[in-house]
Structure 1
Amino acid sequence: MERRSGTIHQERANSGTRSLFPRALWVLLLTLVSAFAHGQESPARSVYFAGSGNAPLDQHLVQLLKGELEPAISLIEVSEDQLATLDSGPIITVGPAAFSRARQANRSAHILAMLVDKSFISGFAERSPGQITGVLYDVPLIRQALTGKAILPQATKIALLATADSVELYEPLIDELPAYGMSARIFLVDSNDKLIPTLVRALGYGDFLLAAPDSAIYNPRTIKHILLTAYRRNQIVIGPTQAYVKAGSLASSYAPFPEMVELANDFLERFFESGQFPEPSYPEHFRVEVNAQVARSLNIPLPSREDIATRVDRQLTVNGEVSDE
């Protein structure tokens, strides 16, 4: 009986010991998992923001970016004087001037340029791949051309104005147009006083005038004369931006700010993963701005903005151009 009692006590002791081991292991496991999870949390990261100087525009972009970026990423606004002191974290710049200031102040900085045209940023990105990129602000000219065709389905000929320095802007477009049943002709403007006479010849050729972001021709000093001349000849102008639509251009495609910010966030995520930026790119989705008053004055039936954008997207998809934009 004594032996039996001792055996029972020993079994209970062994049982208690066994019950302690799983509990201790479980606590240890939880500790390790917690430590591992803590180590896997995204580290605090900083992105610097160098604005354009246009306070309402800059603050609008800041708010959109803060709403898109991960909570672990801090968006820090910096002044021009601070650019040279930044030694970590990428810089978002707004507009060509802000990019140029950041680039000159800090040659080693990784820069994501916003509100810049392809013609402006491409050279920098090619010379500094992975370090310089941009969310492109201009609209691919083939998309603008198809915007015009969505409004004038019978259009087959497009008129283009260019200077000797800007003619290359249109060369890719001329190669692309035949796939969409259109062609284009470039009319060279030799000097400022030849602008309107050359425009008149261009309007006599094309079904509409397609305007590119060419500041030598389309600028605040000339746009009123260009639009009035086209209007008096019952011709329309497509592009180059939303601002020109308000001034009297009939329509223009454009990338909305939320789309540009979404692409900027994608670029930043890829940067934090690899330490490199992807190549400059256009946002995936575009919208269309129209001037209904101009359309009524010219007796042009105007589809809805959504319908125009849908037609353009469909054409680009059918012809396989979406990925090339």
Structure 2
Amino acid sequence: MVVALMLLLPWSPFVSGQNGEPTLPTIYIAGSGNTSLDQHVTRLLREQIGDTAELVFIHDDQSLRTSGSPVITIGPAAFTRIRQINRNTPILALLVERKFIQGYVNRTPGQVSAVFYDVPLLRQALAGKAILPQSNRIALLASTESVEIYEDLIDQLAEYSLEARVFVTDSDDQLIPTLIRALNYGDFLLAGSDDAIYNPRNIKHILLTAYRRNRIVIGPSQAYVKAGVLASGYAPFPAMAAKAGELLQAYFETGILPEPAYPNEFRVEVNEQVARSLNIPLPSREWISQYLDDLMLSSQEDLE
């Protein structure tokens, strides 16, 4: 989909050139510092935008102090950097989690938006249900500060014949004993986006403890599947770029950035070796993704 930026409404980002002809609007990109990642994301964005806007990868952030053009930031560090340089700059943040960006959005609506990088917890929970159809209880591990990220999920689960309980741990000494209690309760452990618990220092101990008790771990992200998590949802980069294109189209039509949004497409990554070691029949990634799409769509239709 090419973003239809040429469909001008009364508010227009186009300015006249020397010959009185409209020139293309400029969209700046602030990179993450990972050259390969930045190039890949920029290429996908160019495919979405086509020749209807000029994408400029910025190397000198100071040029943004007086610029009113929107900036696409790749990753939380880039967002923070640009935000500090010019608080009036319209920013579309990519590769940021909802919990990171939502406060900025609430304080400056219409000026900050994002394509969320994390996967909705409900979708992660239902991935666990797809792999373990007989499961009905989900264990959640949280710190005192992160308990709230699970509140909406717990309210949503009853519709899918699931229930969940949060087990709170606030220190390294409490982690494993609390985890064991959680695993005794739940049919599987759902890992949310909580760096205080799910981090490189803890993940090996969490996974070993879970698998010794014949429990699987779902989430929090695709990267953890390689570490030994059984499965996790993720949004493919083309889907994130497509959603960014939609948000930019709305911005150039109205001058206001829409509310942040999740991509329209998610996939599932699985660790087949872990499934074999636990003797779990594992559906294909494609089947799980389609099952979740159908289930979520059916739920939305029931609400309409």
Among candidates 281, 299, 303, match of residue 319 of structure 1: 299
CA distance in 1, matches of 2:303, 2:230: 27
CA distance in 2, matches of 1:149, 1:262: 29
Shift of 1:191: 1.2
- Please identify the structure whose Cα radius of gyration is greater: 1
Residue 23 of structure 1 corresponds to which residue in structure 2? none
Residue 235 of structure 1 corresponds to which residue in structure 2? 215
CA distance in 1, matches of 2:36, 2:188: 35
Residue 303 of structure 1 corresponds to which residue in structure 2? 283
Residue 209 of structure 1 corresponds to which residue in structure 2? 189
Residue 276 of structure 1 corresponds to which residue in structure 2? 256
Higher mean C-alpha displacement, 119-128 vs 151-160: 119-128
Give TM-score, length-normalised by structure 1. Answer: 0.84
Q: Does 1:44 align with 2:24?
A: yes
Residue 92 of structure 1 corresponds to which residue in structure 2? 72
Shift of 1:88: 2.5
Shift of 1:299: 0.4
* 1:256 and 1:287 in contact (8 A); partners too: yes
* 2:61 and 2:82 in contact (8 A); partners too: no
What is the correspondence of 1:108-257 to structure 2 with a 5 Å cutoff?
A: 108-257=88-237
| Closer, same or farther: CA 165–78 of 1 in aligned 2, 3 Å | same
Gaps of 5+ in 1: 1-38
Q: Does 1:65 align with 2:42?
A: no
Report the residue type matching 1:259 in the other structure: A
CA distance in 1, matches of 2:303, 2:237: 20
CA distance in 1, matches of 2:156, 2:33: 38
Higher mean C-alpha displacement, 60-69 vs 286-295: 60-69
Among candidates 88, 102, 108, match of residue 82 of structure 2: 102
CA distance in 2, matches of 1:219, 1:124: 25
Identical-residue share of aligned pairs (%): 59
Residue 269 of structure 2 corresponds to which residue in structure 1? 289
CA distance in 2, matches of 1:61, 1:323: 35
Gaps of 5+ in 2: 1-18
Alpha-carbon RMSD across the aligned residues, in angstroms, is 1.8
Shift of 1:233: 1.3
Give TM-score, length-normalised by structure 2. Answer: 0.90
* Residue aligned with 2:300, SS: coil
* Residue aligned with 2:198, SS: coil
Report the residue type matching 2:277 in the other structure: S
Shift of 1:79: 2.7
Shift of 1:66: 1.1
| Closer, same or farther: CA 223–261 of 1 in aligned 2, 3 Å | same
| Closer, same or farther: CA 62–322 of 1 in aligned 2, 3 Å | farther
Between structures 1 and 2, the one with greater helix share: 1
| Closer, same or farther: CA 70–246 of 1 in aligned 2, 3 Å | same
CA distance in 2, matches of 1:175, 1:264: 29
* Residue aligned with 2:192, SS: coil
